[in-house]
Amino acid sequence: MSFGWRRFVPDTLVGRTLMVLLAGLVLSQLAGLVLFSINRLELANRLGASQAADRIAGVLQLVEQTPEAERGRVVHAMERPGLRVGWGLSPLTGGDDKASESVVLRHELERRLPGRLFHAEFRPPPVPPPPGEGPEPGPGMSHGRPPATLVAVRLDDGTWLNIAVFWPHEGTLWRPGFVGPLGGGLLVVVTLSVLAVRRAAKPLRQLAEAAERLGRDVAAPPLAVGGPYEVRQAALAFNRMQHRLRRFINDRTQMIAAISHDLRTPITRLKLRAEFVEDEEQRIKMLADLDEMEAMIAATLAFAREDALREAHRPVDLAQLLRGLCTDFHATYRGPDSLIVNAGETGLKRAFANLLDNARKYGGAARVGVVADGGHAVVTIDDDGPGIPESELERVFAPFYRVESSRNRETGGTGLGLSVARSVMRAHGGDIALTNRSSGGLSALVTVPI
């Protein structure tokens, strides 16, 4: 069962780490905004109620000290924006509700007017009538009115001081003065997170690059040791592995060189003794067998040394190299006049010479084609031979393996040509594959990174 959401999950470690960081950052920002909005509203109510209670207490004191004949004028003069004041024989409201605005204001009034009889009731803003129903607002008028709390306080003479406290509309949080700094801070955090995650993942990229270099050249420089503890341990383990591989290959090369050197002496003695054999036919066969043994030893030593892996890479004109080999092996060439690759020239020449030699020996003729495909040069070498059984197409790359039914010892060779060629190409980051052509013959497909 596949999940569609997986398509949106980044494939890289950097991408997934950033996704987790950004998700946590966004969720924390949203939670902070919710808490801020709730606390902001509560704080605004408390501050508004405290200021309104101070005004009401001041108005009450002034009105009680003013003669009844002057109270109307004084009350009118006490009105302020957000505060309407009236004085009469009956209260404007006689009930107390549970609205937060009313509760907070009553609490503040109880602190400032102990023992006084008062009522406080919250009135939400009126709902405007549906379009087409009721009078339309005229110029400068609006159906909207801020919410208000009606307060009625009984005076000592039995009259009532009626006050309407209008609560201001709370401005939206999504305004430039708030969103701008918030978005800027978020952008800074995201940028720093991207830089930090990329820096943290850099040792992993270096480890991957070092592993790729090791696959091409066992003598590549060791990996630099640095970064966190786990990264340093991985780098040290990688360097130890590379050192062991290099030591193993050197030991193997030295052992094969020693064996080859020791075998040359008895082979030379056998050749001298073969010269004294009187039977001409037997002498020729013996010398041929000894020459074949000597060739196998030399090829084995060259294969073990892996000279191509140690050769320095430099710009090489692959097209010119192949045209020269085609002349030597009487092959046809089809491709560009020039194609520059970064490679070891000696290794490339050895590998393509082995392939062309096989095509000429076992296929009768060789045709070379070259094309540039993206970042690779693709070389095809076709022959007109009998081909190879499908089950043998990969096995022929094993050292000393030869297909006896079509490629026998009478044609020469030691069974190392294809092994050496593939080792060279893989050391350059390329490869070799063999396929049977539908029209007959064998085709070798070689890729070389440009």
Predicted pLDDT at 350: 86
Domain with CATH 3.30.450 in the chain: 13-125+145-166
Phi, psi of 281 (to 5 degrees): -65, -45
Give the tokens for residue 312.
Answer: 């320095």
CATH architecture assignment, domain 13-125+145-166: 2-Layer Sandwich (3.30)
Predicted pLDDT at 90: 85
Domain with CATH 3.30.565.10 in the chain: 312-449
Domain with CATH 1.10.287.130 in the chain: 206-305
Per-position pLDDT tens, the chain of length 450: 445 666 777 767 777 777 887 888 788 878 877 777 777 777 777 777 787 888 888 888 888 888 888 888 888 887 777 778 888 888 888 777 777 778 888 888 888 888 888 888 877 765 555 554 444 443 333 445 677 788 888 888 888 888 887 776 555 666 666 667 777 877 888 788 778 877 777 777 788 778 777 766 667 778 888 777 877 888 888 888 888 887 887 777 777 777 777 787 888 888 888 888 888 888 888 888 888 787 777 777 766 665 544 667 789 899 999 999 999 888 899 999 899 988 888 888 888 988 898 888 888 888 999 998 888 889 999 988 888 888 888 888 877 776 654 444 455 556 677 888 888 888 787 889 998 888 888 899 999 888
Phi, psi of 85 (to 5 degrees): -125, 135
CATH of 206-305, one of 3.30.70.3040, 1.10.390.10, 1.10.287.130, 1.10.4160.10: 1.10.287.130
- Looking at domain 312-449, its CATH class is alpha beta
Predicted pLDDT at 34: 76
Predicted pLDDT at 370: 92
pTM (whole model) above 0.75: no
Residue 143, amino acid: H
Distances (CA, A) of 10 to 7, 14, 19, 239, 350: 8, 8, 8, 31, 44
Predicted pLDDT at 134: 42
What is the chain's Cα-based Rg?
47
d(CA 146, CA 151): 16
d(CA 365, CA 376): 26
